[in-house]
Amino acid sequence: MVVCKPTRRQMLATMGVGGTLAAWSGCSGTMPGPDTTGQPLTPPEMPDDLDLRLLNRITFGPTADQFEEIAQIGYDAFLEEQLNPERIADTATDDALRSLPTLRQPLAELAQAEEPDFVAEELVLARVIRATQSNRQLLERVVEFWTDHFNIYHAGDAIKILKTIDDREVIRANALGNFRDMLHASSRSPAMLVYLDNATNLAGAPNENYARELLELHTVGRNSGYVQEDVEELARALTGWSVVQDGLAAGSFVFRANLHDDGPKQVIDLSLPASGGMDDGRMVFDYLAGLPQTARFIATKLVKHFVAESAPQSVVDRVTDAFLTSDGDMKTILREVFARESMRLAEPKFKRPLHFISDIIRRTGARIDESEELGFWLYVLGHVPFLWPAPDGYPDVAEHWAPGLLNRWNFATAYSFGDLVGARFDVLARVQREGDYAPAAVVDLWDRMFFAGQMPRDERAALHAYITDDPEDEGRLIYESFAMAISMPSFQWH
Amino acid sequence: MQTKTPTKNGCPEYHALQRRSFLRTLGQASAAAALVTPVWLPKLVFAQSENSERDLLVCVFLRGGADGLTLCVPHAEQAYYDARPTLAIPAPDSVLSNRATDLDGFFGLPPALARLKPIYDARQLAIVHATGSSHPTRSHFEAQDFMEAGTPGDSTVVTGWLARHLHSVREADDVVLRGMAASTTIPRTLGGAPKTVAITSIDEYGLVGREETRDAQLDLFREVYGSSNDVLSAAANNITTTTSLIDRIKSSPYTPAGGAAYPTDGWGEGLKTIARLAKADVGLEAACIDLDGWDTHAEQGSLNGELNGLMDRFARGLEAFHADMADRIDRTTVVVLSEFGRRVDENGSKGTDHGHGNAMFVMGGHVNGGQVITDWPELSPDALDDRRDLAITIDYRDILSEVLTKRAGNTSLEAVFPGYAPEFRGVV
């Protein structure tokens, strides 16, 4: 079973089992050997064309219109336009969202909602509609990033309502604004204060939950030098930051001075004098937002998400500098993330399930009008928006998502049926429109639609062979060829 | 060149999937599979010779940091009651109604876990206390990664301890499925494991689409995903080989044995899936399943709230699995882990913050059950780890190493826990 390979020694070393290397070096067929462990994925090749790379990075799947537009106005103008979404008309999306009233309702009205599940479902549907249909694709990709960064789980009635406010006023309002502002907004977000329990963080008996994740996940990052005492001091500084429980203002942020610990505190290098009241929190958020560790942590995460999992050092350095010199201005930071120098170093990223599904829907031009069935697929694929329970957000590494391949293949088949409620695509009509039923022509069609004409040769050949294996079978020619095309390994990456 | 125009009428199969009929269609697919598989086929017989000497290892992970001081209550220690004024479980001799069930005069089970007492009394359940991963981190993510990798403090190891175990024992001939995770993905514990898939339900696992082209599609996937060792290729290969196997298993309906009543949630369904695959004798050696939600910072509810509800689901799940697996409990070992325990002192939110030492549950036919295995460090302030937390006096790798060695045929622990010299504690 075990095959000796030149990389074996290297692999074992990586696994930290070098000590047993000697025992295994004889290499016989029955030796215990971790032959699939720790192996990196081998993604397809990246397209050379930087325009195409950029489109893949700032959209949930590029459409024919976008290919045309970037060819016309060029890389820089296209990026600049996407960085200023208010300049992009998006009436179709606005129309689609109009049927979701809770998106716009003020807290006082939402708080009266008798069905918090309904509020949560509308937010999920809005997420899918925006990802698949919005012309402001970069904004939506960035919103997705910050939604994971400041993750809040749709658990419990209060959060099912309050996350809609958080999405609107914290994430979307600041996604292309300033990191400092977003951090301040998040710290007063009732959904966050409930989710990470700061709402019950009291003088004399602090609750560390929010303080810990604030350092580890939201700002400076793990192993950046803070210790348990810093977590405890930070928790003390945030005592009294809470949420109104009852009455007309229920669900809104409140600072309860009487529950605030007014002693002096020391958080990392920041000294907070006694009797700071709410200024403790304000100062500490300003302090954390300005720390170089925060800039580097956020920059690295952005680069991993948008450029390459390996986070090339030169790109991280440039993005970190942009973060520090602009004091967290998102557009300045993103210009560096998406600069040509960055895109030249881009590596294929494994599509997360929402991205995989959105990509198919966008390239086929289907319109979303219902989320239940799409919700089912996102559920079996493990990627329903706002349903990751831990505060670290949905994973952003290929290893996490690769084992879910079977349901990607099944989604492809279900979608090819044209019966997916809420996002219908008529495969047959599309082929009929082309009017050429030769297997090679059908393969060409899917190649253009899903691979920008760059489908790997072996995948093309295999797909062609699959169709011609039974030339009388129209099912293979039309529907299954479509499903198999989007089930190909190279389509799982972007 | 084909010139005729295909019509939808030519492909009636494609009308089969109607609105929200996905699950129903899968049911039809299994019915169809039953027709082509001889129904007299008693059981799929694979790999008996190799694996019959090795237990099925089931690793339950309680994500979020379960409160070991509630899961297994040190009721004889006053410091516990001092630290937990609103959260403590009353001692067994208390006049209060929600009292603990005594285990050994010192420890007890909270009311929500009392249904595990018969298994404990039958000596098939042991609890290890003041155990865990030695690394001091209080980060969920770091602690989980270290615990699942089996190498506390070394973040360069990306594979899981259970995966390395599977690689380090001889694989039986012709076995197609050695490991499973009852979830939509594979946790770090099984990261890099051979012949391992993520599967939440037998009945819902399989390729949708036409029966007549299924094999051709599987061949296509095998071809394009290749046979390299990378994670995606391995995932594709494991799935393509497993779907045919599962199609055969799901052709016979499943009724849990011993009146087992699994919780009607993903956790219960996952345990049932493990039992069903185990009983199909396909050579399954390792299974992972998570139970989420143990990060009880506020309104913990040890007796009547969130934690109580979680423990109830946990206990009902283990109880059902134990009953269902009765005829093969002698070849089964279940270990229950959580990334860390919780702070000894409760906080002001009637909850507990991240701590260190914890309790582990070990269940199985060859477990030296009916005892709490511990080198109890006590809860007085001076005895605490970092003056805050229950200290760890038994490394969790001691327990896992003993189980792997004595129940899973492992003779190369160095490959599983590199650089660690375990001390066996008599757990199996």
pLDDT bin (cut points 50, 70, 90) of residue B228 is confident
Beta strand A265-267 pairing with A270-272: antiparallel
For residues A309 and A302, give the distance between their C-alpha atoms in angstroms, rounded to a whole number: 10
Whole-number percent of chain B with pLDDT over 70: 88
Give chain A positions within 8 Å (CB) of B214: none
SS3 category, A171:
helix
Which one of A414, A483, A489 has the shortest CB-CB distance to B225? Answer: A489
How much is the pLDDT for B146? 96
Nearest CA in chain A to B418: A17
How much is the pLDDT for A42? 67
**Distance set, CA A206 to CA A190, A218, B220, B279, B357 (Å):** 18, 20, 58, 49, 21
Beta strand B332-338 pairing with B358-364: antiparallel
SS3 category, B84:
coil
Chain B closest-CA separation from residue A16 CA (Å): 6
Which one of A207, A418, A469 has the shortest CB-CB distance to B353? Answer: A207
Token pair belonging to A482? 């479509």
Nearest CA in chain B to A1: B171
- E runs forming strands in A261-347: 265-267, 270-272
For testing contact with chain B, the best of A14, A20, A37 (most B CBs within 10 A): A37
For residues A451 and A433, give the distance between their C-alpha atoms in angstroms, rounded to a whole number: 19
Map tokens 């928790």 to a residue.
A235
| CB neighbours of residue B97 within 10 Å | 8
Give chain A positions within 8 Å (CB) of B13: 475
How much is the pLDDT for A489? 95
For residues B325 and B272, give the distance between their C-alpha atoms in angstroms, rounded to a whole number: 10
Which one of B170, B236, B292 has the shortest CB-CB distance to A389? Answer: B292
For residues B11 and B25, give the distance between their C-alpha atoms in angstroms, rounded to a whole number: 16
User: What is this structure's pTM?
Assistant: 0.89
B216 has pLDDT over 60: yes
On whether the CB atoms of residues A33 and B428 are closer than 8 A, the answer is no
How much is the pLDDT for B50? 45
Whole-number percent of chain B with pLDDT over 90: 83
Q: Smallest Cα–Cα separation from B427: which of B403, B411, B408?
A: B403
For residues A228 and B389, give the distance between their C-alpha atoms in angstroms, rounded to a whole number: 12
- Residue A86: which residues within 8 A CB-CB, separation 6 or more? none
How much is the pLDDT for A15? 26
What is the tens place of the pLDDT at every residue in B171-208?
988 899 999 999 999 999 999 999 999 999 999 999 99
How much is the pLDDT for A138? 98
Range in A178-192, B42-56, B388-402 with the lowest mean pLDDT: B42-56
| CB neighbours of residue A438 within 10 Å | 14
How much is the pLDDT for A212? 97
On whether the CB atoms of residues A115 and A94 are closer than 8 A, the answer is no
Give chain B positions within 8 Å (CB) of A200: 298-299, 348-351
Which one of B217, B221, B348 has the shortest CB-CB distance to A205? Answer: B348
DSSP lists the bridge partners of residue B362 as: B126, B335
For residues A301 and A304, give the distance between their C-alpha atoms in angstroms, rounded to a whole number: 5
Give chain A positions within 8 Å (CB) of B198: 403-404
On whether the CB atoms of residues A218 and A186 are closer than 8 A, the answer is yes
Burial class (CB in 10 A: 0-12, 13-18, 19+), A169: middle
Q: Smallest Cα–Cα separation from A40: which of B194, B233, B172, B281?
A: B233
How much is the pLDDT for B29? 34
What is the tens place of the pLDDT at every residue in B232-290?
999 999 999 999 899 999 988 999 999 999 999 999 999 999 999 999 999 999 999 99
| CB neighbours of residue B382 within 10 Å | 6
User: Inter-chain contact A438–B207, Cβ cutoff 8 Å?
Assistant: no
List chain A pLDDT tens, one digit each, 494 residues.
222 222 222 222 222 222 222 222 222 223 333 333 445 566 777 788 999 999 999 999 999 999 999 999 999 999 999 999 999 999 999 999 999 999 999 999 999 888 999 999 999 999 999 999 999 999 999 999 999 999 999 988 999 999 999 999 999 999 999 999 999 999 999 999 999 999 999 999 999 999 999 999 999 999 999 999 999 999 999 999 999 999 889 999 999 999 999 999 999 999 999 999 999 999 999 999 999 999 999 999 999 999 999 999 999 999 999 999 999 999 999 999 999 999 999 999 999 999 999 999 999 988 777 777 888 899 999 999 999 999 999 999 999 999 999 999 999 999 998 867 777 899 999 999 999 999 999 999 999 999 999 999 999 999 999 999 999 999 999 999 999 999 999 999 99
On whether the CB atoms of residues A326 and A302 are closer than 8 A, the answer is no
| CB neighbours of residue B172 within 10 Å | 17
Q: What is the mean pLDDT of residues B70-91?
A: 97
User: Inter-chain contact A17–B415, Cβ cutoff 8 Å?
Assistant: yes
Give chain A positions within 8 Å (CB) of B243: 406
**Among positive and negative, which fits the CA dihedral B245, B250, B252, B253?**
positive
Torsion of CA A9, A10, A12, A13, to 10 degrees: 120
User: Inter-chain contact A428–B239, Cβ cutoff 8 Å?
Assistant: no
How much is the pLDDT for B151? 94
DSSP state of B88: P
Q: Indicate the residue type of B322.
A: H
Consecutive H or E run containing A108: helix A107-110
Which one of A382, A459, A470 has the shortest CB-CB distance to B224? Answer: A459
**Distance set, CA B282 to CA A318, A411, B325, B350, B386 (Å):** 53, 28, 15, 47, 47
User: Inter-chain contact A209–B295, Cβ cutoff 8 Å?
Assistant: yes
For residues A310 and A397, give the distance between their C-alpha atoms in angstroms, rounded to a whole number: 10
The ipTM is: 0.87
The span from the first CA to the last CA of chain A, in angstroms, equals: 33
| CB neighbours of residue A186 within 10 Å | 23
User: Inter-chain contact B207–A37, Cβ cutoff 8 Å?
Assistant: no
Which one of B223, B292, B412 has the shortest CB-CB distance to A462? Answer: B223
Token pair belonging to A359? 């990509």
Mean pLDDT of chain B: 88
Compute φ and ψ for A49, nearest 5 degrees. -65, 120
Chain A closest-CA separation from residue B100 CA (Å): 27
Token pair belonging to B407? 């129940």
Give chain A positions within 8 Å (CB) of B233: 42
On whether the CB atoms of residues A305 and A347 are closer than 8 A, the answer is no
User: Inter-chain contact A1–B171, Cβ cutoff 8 Å?
Assistant: yes
Give chain A positions within 8 Å (CB) of B139: 212, 216, 222
For residues A110 and B8, give the distance between their C-alpha atoms in angstroms, rounded to a whole number: 46
Nearest CA in chain B to A373: B20
Which one of B194, B208, B292 has the shortest CB-CB distance to A414? Answer: B208
**Distance set, CA A389 to CA A196, A251, B201 (Å):** 11, 21, 21
Give the count of Cβ contacts less than 8 A between chain A and B: 267
Chain B closest-CA separation from residue A171 CA (Å): 23
- Please report the domains of chain B, with CATH numbers, ordered by start residue: 45-203+256-416 (3.40.720.10)
What is the tens place of the pLDDT at every residue in B16-48?
333 233 333 333 333 333 333 333 333 333 334
